[in-house]
Amino acid sequence: MPERLIPGRPGLQPERTDLSWVRTALVVAINGGLLLLREGGKLDLLSILGSSFAMALAIMMVLIGMRRTRLLARRPLPEHLAPRQEVLVSGICITALAVLMLLIIATL
């Protein structure tokens, strides 16, 4: 029997969800920081734009993670649990960040 269905035990799903969103946000934030610390020390508009986009994306990930944790902590669980829009928007933004990173690397 899944843990979240045992009466009196809320389960680990909210904690796992929170940790996964926070890990993703941390990796994106580190990526943004590395854009500013790249070798050569020359800051150009593309690096600043990429770093700012990565930091905004990291903040968005943390906020989505907090929202998902609150949603999964509710009892009874809501009918619709799948984070379709959040995952789609996050995936598109991370893909855009990857393309921006490739442009920055190509200009080195």
pLDDT digits (tens, 9 = 90+) for 69-88: 888 777 777 777 777 788 89
Q: Is residue 100 part of a domain?
A: yes
Q: Are 68 and 17 in contact (CB under 8 A)?
A: yes
Q: Packing angle between helix 84-106 and helix 13-36, nearest 10 degrees?
A: 20
What confidence score (pLDDT) does residue 59 get? Answer: 94
> CB–CB of 31/61 below 8 Å?
no
* Domain assignment present for 4: no
Alpha-carbon span 61 to 68, nearest angstrom: 10
The answer to whether residue 31 sits within a structural domain is yes
Which pLDDT value is given to residue 93? 93
In a domain, 38, yes or no: yes
The pLDDT score that the predictor gives to residue 82 is 75
Note the pLDDT of residue 39: 60
Domain contains 3: no
Q: Is residue 59 part of a domain?
A: yes
Q: Please count the structural domains in the chain.
A: 1
Domain extent, residue 90, equals 10-106
Question: Does residue 39 sit within a domain?
Answer: yes
The answer to whether residue 1 is domain-embedded is no
Residue stretches of the chain with pLDDT short of 70 = 1-13, 38-41
Record the pTM. Answer: 0.78
Q: So what's the pLDDT on residue 10?
A: 58
